[in-house]
Amino acid sequence: MAEITGNPEGSVPEGGILTLRVARYDPERDRAARPQEWKVKILPGMTVLDALFAVKEEQDGSLAFRCSCRMGVCGSCGMFINGKPRLACNTQVNELGPVVEVAPLPNHDAIKDLVPDLALTFRRHRAVLPYIIRNDVAEMESPTREFGQTPEELARYVQFSYCLKCSLCLAACPTVSTSEQFLGPQALAQAYRFVADTRDAGLGERAGVVDASHGVFGCHLAGACSEACPKGVDPALGIQLLKRSLFVGPPHRAPAQVVSAFPEGYRTPEAAERPKAPPPSV
Amino acid sequence: MVAEAQTPVRTQVPSRLSMRLGLRGWVYAGRYPAERYLYILHRLCGLGLILYLPLHVWVTGRRLQGPEAWQQTMAILSRPVFVAGEILVLAAFVFHAINGFRLLFGHLGCALGRPEYPVYPYPVALHRQRRLTTALMVLAGAFLAAGVWGLLTK
Amino acid sequence: MRESRLWAFHLICGAGLLVLLSLHMGLMHYAGILALLGWVREPVLSFPSVVERGRGAAWAVMYVLLLGFALYHGLYGLRGVLGEIWDTPRAARFINAGVVTFGLAVLVYGVAVAVQAARL
Ligand code: HEM
Ligand code: HEM
Ligand code: HEM
Ligand code: SF4
Ligand code: FES
């Protein structure tokens, strides 16, 4: 990600004029992408999503794109922006230069203009059983107490749990570009997110999906997914650790047991030495 | 394999635009980092080598036909086209072997560091082995140069 | 078979190739350097030296291993590459049958050559 924060194309001054070039597609008219260009006045802190809104509100109401949170947490606004898949709301136009080229996410179907169909991504995600799997069914059905997990144990998988399902990594992945069957970086990293969770005992069950053709071994460590990921999930790392788990088992020996909760506010003696959750970065 | 799940893959929309990159997605690394380019080269070299192997087994099998047949084969192989081909095979081997050495570790999650809290700027595991990657590529360059020199001064 | 078994063998063969093929290529292409060290007598590709190498049982074993490793490793890789282009179950059956047949054919021929060469 560090590279993207740089300013390769040279910044544009606020108050300047931005050329927004969008690959449009109207399912009722077009058979191929149709480029269209608009000029947009640059405002302080303007993101690509802001620029798209400016066009939609002031110049062309028919422009379609998808967004929700406009703050990089919902994963709705993935697009191909100046040669890389990025979140439109997470990309400032002054990182990009005076011409911003936007196209729908590669490796996906565009429904209209910049709206990609993420159904296949979600289906892949569901295929890897993205939830805690345990053998103590009774406790799962009607929990009596909580499962113990230390901050160190949390640190082993927490980065993978930041995934937005924005599908940028699938847009970057070379294997996904030819194979619809391949599970892809998002789902495989999520498989590892649960495999590495100390409360989980589902590696064997997930192996049925990931240890098969078009599973985890479709990854060849090209690393593009990790470069595209806007949340530091680093799916490539999760995928390689998943491969390792298939041979040596998950990082924990046995799934965590239920523990009685500590009294409210209780601190264990070692608590002071444990890593603290980082302060908010934004 | 993606199991047939409850939801239909394609919802009922008249038509849509496929942005699937296809083979272009393999060979176009665009603005992605070094490893993305190494992936292309590794694949290309691997395919080159497996193409070469059966031809090679057949050609070296000519030694069973006696010295004349062998000399004849070697004479053909000393033509510039074949020498160029041999250089390509050498280059493919040197790169694929040395990069493969890196991948052997990488694929097993070694030399990639551990997961951690994602604090901006987010860490990327492959960046942690950049020094190794660079050193290996320099090594590959050196081996290749020595090999080509050996071939051309034979 | 589980994919991880096939893949692990792909990696093991890769590691084996790293040793054996480096020896092979070292001999064939770095002979000049090896000769400086007095380890080989040039020229490595003349008929007498080729025949002499092929004669030893150790060399024959090494070549058969090299052949087997390279075939498995390379064809598993090829299978993966093709399977990413044609990813239907039908295509997979076709690709599997293809690489296995091709691999066995080259293996049989190559082993025959190595064995006969050992008797030259
Ligand atoms: C007419 C009154 C209100 C309206 C129209 C309103 C509207 C909304 C909307 C639209 C959201 C975002 C929902 C979402 O993200 O799913 C929201 C979130 C929230 N509202 Fe309200 N709200 C009202 C009153 C209140 C009151 C009285 C409270 C507290 C007592 C409250 C507490 C919250 C909280 C905590 C959230 C965040 C929930 C989350 O992030 O999941 N709201 N509200
Ligand atoms: C010299 C030692 C070698 C090493 C260390 C090595 C290592 C590797 C590794 C680790 C991979 C996995 C790449 C991935 O999936 O990301 C690979 C793939 C491959 N190798 Fe090798 N290899 C070697 C020699 C060979 C030889 C001699 C051949 C041909 C006969 C070959 C053909 C292939 C092919 C076709 C692939 C698949 C490429 C892909 O999927 O992108 N390799 N090799
Ligand atoms: C271009 C450089 C190469 C040269 C000059 C070369 C030369 C030879 C020669 C002369 C032989 C006959 C045996 C001997 O003389 O000892 C041989 C056998 C063999 N080579 Fe190579 N080789 C090269 C590259 C390769 C590569 C890249 C591979 C693997 C993909 C390979 C795999 C083999 C195998 C498996 C045999 C044994 C074949 C058999 O007897 O069945 N060689 N090579
Ligand atoms: S891993 Fe990253 S890029 Fe991929 S879907 Fe999750 S958040 Fe998006
Ligand atoms: S709008 Fe939610 S991530 Fe961009």
DSSP of A189-208: HHHHHHHTSTT---HHHHHH
Residue with tokens 């003696």: A269
Q: Which of A123, A167, A188, A227 to mutate to test the pocket of ligand 4 (most atoms within 8 A of CB)?
A: A167
Question: Range of A170's domain?
Answer: 119-248
Say if residue A68 is in the same domain as residue A45: yes
Say if residue A21 is in the same domain as residue A98: yes
Say if residue A109 is in the same domain as residue A143: no
SS3 call for A35? strand
Checking if the pLDDT of C36 tops 50, the result is yes
**What is the reported pLDDT for A1?**
39
Checking if the pLDDT of A272 tops 50, the result is yes
- Residue A278, classified by CB atoms within 10 Å of its CB into exposed (0-12), middle (13-18) or buried (19+), is exposed
Question: Range of C7's domain?
Answer: 3-118
Domain boundaries, chain B: 32-46+80-113+121-152
Q: Cβ of A161 under 8 Å from any chain B Cβ?
A: no
Query: Quick check: is A8 in a domain?
Result: no
Q: Residue-wise over B67-102: b if at least 16 C-beta within 10 A, else e?
A: eeebeebbeeeeeeeeeeebbebbbbbbbbbbbbbb
**What is the reported pLDDT for A82?**
95
Q: pLDDT grade, residue B14 (50/70/90)?
A: low
Closest residue on chain C to B49 (Cα):
C74
Say if residue A78 is in the same domain as residue A93: yes
Tell me the H-state helices in chain A: 2-5, 48-58, 119-127, 137-141, 151-155, 168-172, 174-178, 184-195, 203-210, 224-228, 235-248
Last residue of a domain, one of A116, A145, A163: A116
Q: pLDDT grade, residue C10 (50/70/90)?
A: very high
Q: pLDDT grade, residue A5 (50/70/90)?
A: very low
Per DSSP, what are the bridge partners of residue A78? A87
Distinct helix (H) and strand (E) counts, chain B? 6, 1
Checking if the pLDDT of A63 tops 70, the result is yes
**How far C54 CA sits from the closest chain A CA (Å)?**
37
Per DSSP, what are the bridge partners of residue A147? A258
Query: CA C51, CA C30: separation in Å to the nearest integer?
Result: 19
- Structural domains in chain A (count): 2
Of the residues C87, C94, C95, the best mutation for testing chain A's interface (the one with the most A CB atoms within 10 Å of its CB) is C87
Say if residue A112 is in the same domain as residue A123: no
Say if residue A99 is in the same domain as residue A148: no
For all residues of chain A together, what is the average pLDDT?
A: 91
Q: pLDDT grade, residue A266 (50/70/90)?
A: confident
**What is the reported pLDDT for A181?**
95
Q: What is the CA radius of gyration of chain A?
A: 22
Say if residue A100 is in the same domain as residue A201: no
State in Å: Cα B48 to ligand 3 middle: 15
**What is the reported pLDDT for A210?**
97
**What is the reported pLDDT for A77?**
98
Q: Which of A48, A77, A91, A168 to mutate to test the pocket of ligand 5 (most atoms within 8 A of CB)?
A: A77
CATH number of the domain at C9, please. 1.20.1300.10
Q: Is A48 in the pocket of ligand 5 (CB under 6 A)?
A: no
DSSP output for A141-156: HS--SEEP--HHHHHT
Query: Quick check: is A108 in a domain?
Result: yes
Query: Quick check: is A38 in a domain?
Result: yes
Q: pLDDT grade, residue B13 (50/70/90)?
A: low
Q: Is C27 in the pocket of ligand 3 (CB under 6 A)?
A: no
Q: Which of A141-150, C8-17, C34-43, C66-75 has the lowest mean pLDDT?
A: C34-43
pLDDT digits (tens, 9 = 90+) for A78-109: 999 999 999 999 999 988 989 999 999 999 99
pLDDT digits (tens, 9 = 90+) for B91-136: 999 999 999 999 999 999 999 999 999 998 999 999 999 999 999 9
